Amino acid sequence: MLIQKIGIIAIITLFSIFVYLNIVITTSNNVLINYYEDVLYNLASSFDYKLTYDFLETPTKSSPVFKDIRSYLSEFSDNLGIDDVYLSTINLIDNKEVLLVHGSNVNFKIGDTIDSKFGLEAYNSKQMISGNVKDNNSNYYSFYSPILNEAGNVLALVAFNITENTFIKLTLGKFIKTVCILLLLNVFLTIFYIYIATLGLWKILKPIYIIKNEVLNISNKILAVNKNISFSTHEFNVIQKLFVKSISLINNFILSLIIYLEYIKFSISKVKISSLEMVNKIKSTITYISKVSKSNENVNKEVFNLKNKMQIFSDDINLITSEIKNILESNITAINICQNNNEFLNEFLIEISILIKKFKTEQTECRNLTILSNKINDILENILTITNETKLLSLNASIVAISAGEHGKSFGVIAKEVGELSQNIIKSTGYIQQTLVKISNTINLLNKESIEIFESFKKHSEKSKIFSSNLSEIYNSIKNITIVLKDISFSSEKLNNKNEIILENVTFLSSNSSSNLNSIKQIENLITKVNDNALTFRKSFEDLDDNINQIKFELNQFKL
């Protein structure tokens, strides 16, 4: 019965060790990867990007910033015990990773090409990248994290590599440490149990062994005298003393055994109470872990919802940014149109000014022509007066010629010719006067039309000036709007970059929450199994208590 109990306890212990080791083996790699990711994230966050920017301006070993960055990386390398810690960047011409500063190896030079699997991916995605790298020569774990400036742009990459042997040693160290603790605990419990069992059996078997030897001696003596049952008084006294001594020893042993069993029973009672307390604590721990697990699930859901909302918000910002860029392009086109129209209007105003000047000149000429026409009319009136007087003179000459008779014929002819000439002059003068009246009327009409055109051009000039002024105001307003939109676009880009950083952090938090949730679930399963083992252990103690009570009853019967 006792061996069966020992076997059950050993099986339960081995099963618990197996379950625990299985959990340790399956989670150790993930725990170490998450640990080194957190370490690298803290390193990238604490990095002074201004120093990095200054160093990128002049990436040489003579730069004072180079020594600061290298000492910082070297200190980080020494603290973690990692040899391969370095700062790098991506050559955007050929998309190759080049070395900037190496934290431990001085043989590497600035600008050396790094054959990396995750460098370009971390640079483009602006996120931490890690994973196992296998090639023909080596097998290692690589960790990359970008260093971002205030605008969210990547300045450089900070990275380190851990060989698989180092990684296995770290994992194996924790594993061996845990196994050794469990084995030592198991060996200690086994030795303690064997010691208690051996000590109890020896106290029980020692009197029986003595009685057995004495009985064998008596039997040999009885056989030696051929079944003659006559003993000497001395021998009988010796046997009697021996039996009395044996009975006394057995009696003392039974008393000590009863006292020892009472002590064991008391210890078992204490163990029962402790086991009950342990079971209650385990149950409360399971309840608490369940609550924490549910809380983590809710947090994980909220983080996931927040991630989706931030992704939608990021898409909206990108859409607004693209619309602002389209508006900026439209504003630039409108500005160009306003500039061109303003130039055209200025040219038009200049031409109108020239035309107005010409119209003013023509008005002056028209006035001069009117004055000349009036002067011509005056001259024609004088000519007409002279002609009338000549006509009267001709008439008088004709009268004188007629009165002169034969001698006045030639003078009469001349008088006739002079009369005809004056008549023709009168006719020509009337025609000229009519023509001058038409010319004067035409000039007056042209002058009136030119005045109307001048007034119209003057009004158009004033309106064009007003339109040009309004166009200038529109141009200045569009220019100011363009500046504001550029500021909004820059702010939206900064907001988008910060939103991407927050989204990366939320994604990282979501992955860590999922990992923590899985770890909590594994711990919950482990504690549940420990609780089952504790209940089994408690049941085994109850069975042991029943067996002790049975032994006490049999000993009491034996004592009677």
Enumerate the domain spans of the chain. Answer: 29-170, 303-522
pLDDT band at 95 (very low <50, low <70, confident <90, very high): confident
| Lowest-confidence region among 111-125, 188-202, 461-475 | 188-202
Q: Do residues 92 and 115 lie in contact, with contact meaning Cβ atoms separated by under 8 Å? A: no
Q: What is the DSSP string of 280-349?
A: HHHHHHHHHHHHHHHHHHHHHHHHHHHHHHHHHHHHHHHHHHHHHHHHHHHHHHHHHHHHHHHHHHHHHH
439-447 average pLDDT score:
75
Please provide the CATH number assigned to the domain covering 303-522. Answer: 1.10.287.950
CA distances from 402 to 63, 256, 390, 411 (A): 136, 208, 18, 9
Q: What's the rounded Cα separation, in Å, for the pair 215 and 243? A: 10
pTM: 0.33
Whether the predicted pLDDT of 154 surpasses 80: yes
Question: Beta-carbon neighbour count of residue 156 at 10 Å?
Answer: 24
Burial class (CB in 10 A: 0-12, 13-18, 19+), 270: exposed
Q: Do residues 131 and 110 lie in contact, with contact meaning Cβ atoms separated by under 8 Å? A: no
Whether the predicted pLDDT of 152 surpasses 70: yes
- HEC string of 175-219 equals HHHHHHHHHHHHHHHHHHHHHHHHHHHHHHHHHHHHHHHHHHHHH
Regarding the domain with residue range 29-170, which homologous superfamily does it belong to in the CATH classification? Answer: PAS domain (3.30.450.20)
Strand-pairing partners, residue 129, are 144
Strand-pairing partners, residue 535, are none
Q: Which of 134, 39, 113, 132 is nearest to 77 (CA)?
A: 39
Q: 263 or 316: whose pLDDT is higher?
A: 316
CA distances from 404 to 136, 391, 417 (A): 156, 19, 18
How does pLDDT run across 479-508, given as a tens digit for each residue?
Answer: 777 776 677 767 666 666 666 666 666 666
Q: What's the rounded Cα separation, in Å, for the pair 413 and 409? A: 6
pLDDT at position 71 is 84
pLDDT at position 523 is 59
pLDDT at position 229 is 46
Whether the predicted pLDDT of 142 surpasses 80: yes
DSSP code of 118? S
pLDDT at position 77 is 81
